[in-house]
Chain A
């Protein structure tokens, strides 16, 4: 691999960030929300660097439809075109373009009270969790009017996910709680949010992730629990349909399936074939286990009317891929090029081709966008003193 990174860096002490509907959304340490339309961000790149870097940023980080078109793919198959396009990246492992933080605009939405722990943007709603609760507001792509900030839970909350018409949040000893999200614009969202009832899906939840439309609850045990969702197709505005969750099963221990998948009589002692193993986490429907020097990937299969299964797929020899060992994992996320692993020694992308180091220290927040059409291979890293939007290319292919 010959990986080159393009990084758009916004200096400052930020708390979290999202790329959503052609806007960069950023929260500062005081919980205030800022935004920058992608179009304006690209103009800032051109101003800070040049038009060539703007095109690269659009191609590698803030994709327009151009990247996916067959015309562009055909053009990039011409070696000289590809060489010229990526020429600004050839002299160093990474190119950093500084974006002026003053380019961000302050949203009129009230700041999130408390210390932000997580955020999610989905269905024209923005949810933020903090050590004071869960907060909901409506997203307006042009920010022409301020939407009120509604507190929907008042317990400390550590994580939130949203999709398929629901959100689910981890409230520690107050459990894993879920609620539907009604779609549609206008001020009536507040009343529908107030009227919606929460359902407790698990008694204890430290963090929660999505596995396709299902949920994985990380509670008291080192192994996550699987929570199967039942869905129905619903038509939404602009003519597209979405699978909407209408029910969740009780949490299901993955231990027996893991024993079967690994061919072990028991997981006692966390040892398999003489090597200690650890669940790193799940990246969408893939479960990542570290077994000695290897990362083993298991597919989480839960098709309708079929029993839940774990099936071994790929494995990576991380000892030969990484210059220093992976620390204890804190989160794993999916992106098109592989798996993002956030651990105590930094942040890496693992794939069958190798490992890409994105940070060699603890970061405030790492985020990928596996459900986005545009940002499917973009990583957002909030560090102690900057926000980085990272895209990358393997020049050896």
Chain B
């Protein structure tokens, strides 16, 4: 009953802006050098069609110059359901997300 890929709920332009915004947050980029993570500022406006409030961008793969991004959350297909602990901690310490939001991400509930 499910798709094998997570699907963006935002436009391609918004996806590009999201990547740039996340990339300039140096703390996050430094913590996870091979990935860039973004979190939705409004839980009611998720990035993905399955309610995903996270987005993960990975560096260009062979034969490509583009970063690849996809929404991530409890409703995503596959086994990656949340961001790494260190990224969640940085968001929480910088008041990007509340304690409640951080806990739900750690519990893979969002």
Chain A residues at the B interface, C-beta cutoff of 8 Å: 13, 15, 29, 114-115, 117-118, 131, 156, 158-159, 172-173, 204, 206-207, 220-223, 255, 266-270, 327-328, 330-331, 344-345, 361-365, 383-384
Contact = CB atoms under 8 A, between A and B. Distances in A.
A82 to B, nearest CB: 37
A223 B51 CA distance: 15
Contacts of B77: 220
A114 B98 CA distance: 17
A344 B1 CA distance: 23
9 contacts: A15-B103, A172-B79, A222-B1, A222-B50, A328-B75, A330-B107, A362-B100, A363-B100, A384-B98
A220 B106 CA distance: 16
A330 B104 contact: yes
B99 to A, nearest CB: 5
A194 B99 CA distance: 33
B59 interface: no
B107 A220 contact: no
B108 A328 contact: no
B44 A345 contact: yes
| B interface, over-half SS | loop
Contacts of A207: 107-109
B74 interface: yes
Contacts of B74: 206, 330
B2 A172 contact: no
B87 to A, nearest CB: 12
A344 B42 CA distance: 11
B96 to A, nearest CB: 14
A131 B106 contact: yes
Given A220-B78, A222-B2, A158 B99 contact: no
B107 A362 contact: no
B57 interface: no
A219 B55 CA distance: 20
Q: Which of B2, B51, B79, B103 has the most CB of A within 10 A?
A: B103
Interface residues of B, number: 26
B100 A172 contact: no
Given A117-B103, A158-B106, 13 more contacts: A115-B85, A115-B102, A115-B106, A158-B108, A172-B79, A206-B74, A222-B2, A222-B75, A328-B75, A344-B51, A361-B100, A364-B99, A383-B100
Given A115-B106, A156-B85, A362-B104, A384 B99 contact: yes
Nearest to A383: B100
Interface string B1-37: 1100000000000000000000000000000000000
Contact of B79 (A173, A222, A255, A266): A173
Contact of B85 (A131, A206, A330, A363): A131
Instruction: Give the one of B1, B74, B77, B102 with max A CB within 10 A.
Output: B1
A269 B106 contact: no
Given A156-B85, A222-B75, A365-B103, A255 B109 contact: no
B104 A223 contact: no
Contacts of B101: 362
Contacts of B85: 114-115, 131, 156
A328 B104 CA distance: 12
Contact of A384 (B51, B100, B107, B108): B100
